[in-house]
A = this chain, B = another copy of it.
Amino acid sequence: MGLQRSPFEAASTGPQTSSTAGGWQGESPAEEARLPPIQRLRRAESRRWPLPPGAGRSCPQKSAETLSSQYGLHLLLAGLLLMFAWAVHAVGVAKSAVLAYLLSLMALQLLWMVWYLGRRCAHKRLIQDKDTQAGARWLKCGITLFAIITLIMDSFKIGYFIGFSSCLSITEGIFPVAHAVHTVLQVYFLWCHAKDVIQSFKTLERFGVIHSVFTNLLLWTNGILAESKHQLNEHKERLITLGFGNISIELDDHTPLCNCTSATLCSIFSQGIYYLYPFNTEYHILASTMLYVVWKNIGRKVEYLQPHKRPFKFQGTAIGSTLGLVVFITTIAVVVVYLIQIGRSKLKSELALIMFYLYAITVLALMCAAGLVAILIYRLEDNSLDISKNPARKLDADLLVGTASGSWLLSWGSILAIIYAQSHPAYTWFSLPYSVLVIIEKYIQNLFIIESIHREHGKNNYDIKTLRILTVSSGSNLSPTASYKEIYNGTNGKLSPTFYGNSYPSEDSSSCALRENINQSRIPVPPSSPDFSFTWRKFSVNSKRSILKNVAVFLFLCNLSLWIPQAFGCRPEYDNGLEEMVFGFEPWIIVVNLAMPFSIFYRMHSAASLFEVSCKM
């Protein structure tokens, strides 16, 4: 039967039948390109015939997937609990225990990466499957930028350790050195292999990649924890300045117990480290997501898609860019003023809060309006969605909704606090529209981004080579018979099964239902001048596209701007005070510290997604 092998056949043909069912289905596109055209055509067609379920995937591979994901979860859980134990000052759990755990994870990842890179170098001639939709160039550039800042942070940490070397554990000196080596090698790995679709040593590679994913996730958590502790200490210091004595205030591992050999340098290092932490955490979470896509791609059968390099052009995005840049500059100004004013005195704190709320409300309202316009335009266009399998895109969409939940939780906290608070100082009322707008803005923006990344933007574009073939319908005499047939040459490489160029199926292939489809497609066009209609549509499509592009660029810059206040400690959720009064100091601090990292990551992630959307348009 071919499509469904009997156990007898499976036994006689050995293991290769289960790993690559269909024989040549596992060949790389480059190898296939060397074949004569007729054979290529046949293969393209037969690929459309679905294999029986499971033929492309053997049991051990499914097991390896479950095994490795469970292994990764254990790494994460053990690490999280260790950090939790350190954070709650568990008996006997020192910072060095956490660092030692992270060091061993990084060492293991380094070993695996060296082995992988070595093997790739040794088998350079072997043609490798690539997932063209994974590891975009701008993503790699972004991660490299963050990695460079991470390296600066590591050097600061080394300097800090040298200064306080007499009273710091040795692991605090080894950690930044190992982390720097890890960062350099990992960035190289991601540059060269983020698109890899691994087809050999699959079980081992699954473990290696998932180990890397969770190592980065734990390094992210470690960064978040250090940053949260720092922010909390700053907040407590402000409360002491403002004279709140009723809250249990104890500062948490602020400075080592000995003197620094060079006090000025140490101060610069310790201050600098905390300004660089946000970039470090972004680096790790981005690396983690990229590696996760590599993991999802292991053993996958990818369709060969022509990679389209669509560099971002600022052309036609003047309004969006200008407005966005205005928001960006305003943000920096607002953050600087906020950080200087907050905690100085009660009045100055309140004024800083009001300023921040007014600024945020304006920006969020503009973003809501822009998002709504874009969605309305989408509703007017009747475009189709690309729902083919794409791990990178699925992860993007899931992360958008998942991480938005972090800031939604904070917003609901603020709303509940306003509802249940017994007294409402004037400035706290600004928190209500702010929280509501945060919810609505992310709701709309997620809708826009998720629809954008699923749209087939090339399909509606009139710049592509459109071939209008006038056919004369023989069966219908109700209407003019012109129908437009578009053959997309290389826009996304997906050609219909039997139409390669314009080769039609032979009359004999009556068992294929394709002819039925052809007849169905001869749908009459209303009898108007096609040229006028075409020009008008082209104009309409172009103007819509221009608006969408401006919206995407504007939202991209706004998200980048809104990342700054949260990442650099401008957090009205702390300073407002209303939530702390209603929920209690500790419960609310726990909520903020759990939700804030996701909220920060959301902004960077949505900015990245919006950049991709602008490039696609």
Contacts and interface: CB of A to CB of B under 8 A. Distances in A.
Contacts of A60: 379
Main secondary structure of the interface of A (DSSP, over half): helix
A421 interface: yes
A470 B211 CA distance: 50
A206 to B, nearest CB: 14
Interface in A86-140: 88-93, 97
A211 to B, nearest CB: 16
A140 to B, nearest CB: 26
A70 B9 contact: no
A424 interface: no
A484 B523 CA distance: 47
Contact of A384 (B54, B506, B516): B54
A3 interface: yes
A152 interface: no
A73 B446 contact: no
A172 interface: no
Interface stretch (A74-82, A251-259, A268-276, A354-362): A74-82
Given A66-B450, A88-B584, A420-B93, A59 B509 contact: no
Contacts of A59: 378-379, 382-385, 451, 454-455
Pick from A10, A81, A82 the residue with the most CB of B within 10 Å. Answer: A81
Nearest to A56: B387
A49 B513 contact: yes
Contact of A91 (B63, B80, B385, B581): B581
A interface residue count range (under 10 / 10 to 19 / 20 to 34 / 35 or more): 35 or more
Given A58-B385, A387-B54, A487 B11 contact: no
Interface string A45-65: 110111011111111101100
A413 interface: yes
Interface stretch (A317-325, A496-504, A542-550, A557-565): A496-504
Contacts of A7: 382, 460, 537
Given A77-B408, A93-B582, 7 more contacts: A1-B496, A3-B517, A9-B483, A9-B521, A9-B525, A45-B513, A58-B385
Closest 7 CB pairs of A and B: A46-B513, A508-B508, A2-B521, A2-B517, A54-B384, A92-B420, A54-B385
26 contacts: A1-B487, A2-B520, A4-B488, A6-B486, A10-B382, A15-B382, A42-B516, A49-B514, A54-B454, A55-B384, A59-B378, A59-B383, A59-B385, A69-B401, A70-B404, A81-B412, A85-B416, A85-B420, A85-B582, A85-B583, A91-B421, A91-B581, A91-B582, A92-B420, A93-B420, A506-B508
